[in-house]
């Protein structure tokens, strides 16, 4: 009976270790889950009273056709072409895909601005990659009373963009930057 007691203790210890590992793995996995926001196309976006700051044409959904990424602000240009910045303005970022428009950002930014970059990710890590191996991601930085970096990527299955906030530290107090616009 002494051997069976020892063996049962070891089996119980191994079982508890495995159970603890499963619980720990589940907790870690839950905290690392990414939260995505789906960006669906919208039927109408009015940019009539906005100033176009930047327009980039690039195939961001890998369908062989360029989409148009457009950045607008509510600040106006004067007669000489200089921007009339205030301490805050509305910023709008959208992607045109033929007749569909995807609204990435439309909000007031106090003491800051919006910028975007398009990056081709070599998803299969091939060297050199084929064009079909590259997945385009749009990175958007919002500065002002805080700093936030968001990533947008095309979701082929759901025919929409997925937004993930990559960086948005809590308790931001002051953000200083060299302004592009």
3-state secondary structure of 168: coil
Listed by start position, the domains of the chain span 1-33, 37-167
7-50 confidence digits (pLDDT tens): 666 665 665 566 555 555 555 555 455 678 999 999 889 999 99
Cβ atoms of 123 and 154 within 8 Å: the answer is no
Its pTM stands at 0.77
DSSP string, 38-72: EE-EES----TTSEEEEEEEE-SSSSSS-EEEEEE
Confidence (pLDDT) at 21: 57
The distance from CA 36 to its chain's CA centroid, rounded to whole angstroms, is 8
In the numeric block, which tokens belong to residue 52? 């176009």
DSSP class of 179: -
85-140 confidence digits (pLDDT tens): 998 999 999 999 988 999 999 999 998 899 999 999 888 787 888 777 788 999 99
Based on its alpha-carbon atoms, the radius of gyration of the chain, rounded to whole angstroms, reads: 24
Cβ atoms of 90 and 73 within 8 Å: the answer is yes
Confidence (pLDDT) at 138: 96
Confidence (pLDDT) at 117: 95
Q: Which residues pair with 33 in a beta bridge?
A: none
């Amino acid at each position: 009976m002494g051997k069976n007691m020892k063996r049962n203790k070891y089996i119980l210890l191994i079982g508890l270790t495995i159970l603890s590992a499963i619980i720990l793995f589940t907790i870690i996995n839950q905290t690392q889950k990414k939260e995505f926001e789906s960006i669906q196309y919208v039927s109408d976006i009015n940019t009539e009273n906005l100033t176009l700051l930047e327009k980039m044409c690039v195939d961001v959904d890998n369908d062989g056709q360029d989409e148009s990424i457009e950045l607008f602000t509510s600040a106006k240009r004067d007669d000489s072409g200089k921007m009339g910045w205030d301490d805050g303005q509305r910023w709008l970022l959208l992607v045109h895909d033929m007749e569909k428009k995807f609204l990435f950002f439309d909000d007031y930014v106090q003491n800051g601005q919006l910028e975007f970059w398009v990056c081709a990710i070599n998803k299969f890590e091939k060297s050199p990659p084929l064009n079909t191996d590259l997945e385009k991601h749009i990175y958007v930085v919002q500065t002002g009373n805080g700093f936030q970096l968001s990533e947008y990527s095309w979701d082929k299955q759901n025919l929409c963009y997925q937004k993930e906030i990559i960086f948005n530290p809590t308790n931001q107090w002051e953000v200083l930057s060299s302004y592009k616009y």
